[in-house]
Amino acid sequence: MNVKEWIKTLTFYEILLGMKATLSHLLKYRPITMQYPHEKKSLPSNYRGMLALLRYDDGTEKCVGCDLCEAACPSRVIRVVSAEVPGEPTKRYSKEYYMDMTRCLFCGLCVKACPVDALGMTQEFEWAVYDKRQLHLNKEQLLAIGDRAYPVREKRLEFQHPNVAYFNVGFKNIPEKDIQ
């Protein structure tokens, strides 16, 4: 044992070193706890919160019931039951749509997979419940989340660009494309 170490032992150098952060804060005190829920943090725009189903500007559901989100989801959150829209031959929609949010890991793959951008991730995170079953959401609930989280809605796909074909339209009363 040399002199240097001997002095370190005598002055409790290691302990002081370990408590450096604590001791420094002891001097310049500043509260960092947020008074949630009275205070709220501002979230980054790409925050991956609660999932929602969206609508077009004419109020129709975007989801076409294609099952791709179900296929993309790594934790089997989604179940889609698709069907033909009654009275509109070959038009497809999701007759039922369920998400079991207890399993969701908010990876966003479903949102990526959706071909019509019918899914969105909102900034909502306050979804603590007393009964887990309340996290099993159906289509109406998911649409409601979308309605409150995305007040600004998109035009139907085929009206966004002249060269985009009519996508999943019942072909009964095909609207004129009023784009030049």
3-state secondary structure of 177: coil
Residue 177 binding result from ligand SF4, other proteins, none, given CB thresholds of 5 to 8 Å by partner type: other proteins
168 binds other proteins (CB under 8 A): yes
119 binds other proteins (CB under 8 A): no
Based on CB atoms, which residue is closest to other proteins, 47 or 159? Answer: 159
The residue among 40, 51, 62 whose CA lies nearest residue 123 is 51
175 binds other proteins (CB under 8 A): no
Q: Which of residues 87-106 bind other proteins (CB under 8 A)?
A: 89-90, 92
**Residue 58 φ/ψ region, left for φ over 0, alpha for ψ in the -120 to 50 degree band, beta for the rest:** alpha
Q: Which of residues 39-78 bind other proteins (CB under 8 A)?
A: 64-68, 71
Part of the chain binding other proteins (CB under 8 A), chosen from 11-19, 50-58, 127-135, 160-168: 160-168
Quote the least distance from Cβ 175 to ligand SF4, whole Å: 20
CB 77 within 8 A of CB 119: no
For 113, residues 6+ apart whose C-beta sits below 8 A from its C-beta are 68, 69, 71, 72
82 binds other proteins (CB under 8 A): yes
3-state secondary structure of 99: strand
Residue 165 binding result from other proteins, ligand SF4, none, given CB thresholds of 5 to 8 Å by partner type: other proteins
Strands, E assignment, 33-91? 51-53, 78-84
Quote the least distance from Cβ 144 to other proteins, whole Å: 24
CA 132 to chain centre: 19
Alpha-carbon separation of residue 59 from 55, 63, 147, 152 (angstroms): 6, 12, 10, 11
Summarize as ranges the residues that interact with other proteins (CB under 8 A): 64-68, 71, 82-84, 89-90, 92, 115-116, 162-163, 165-168, 170-172, 174, 177
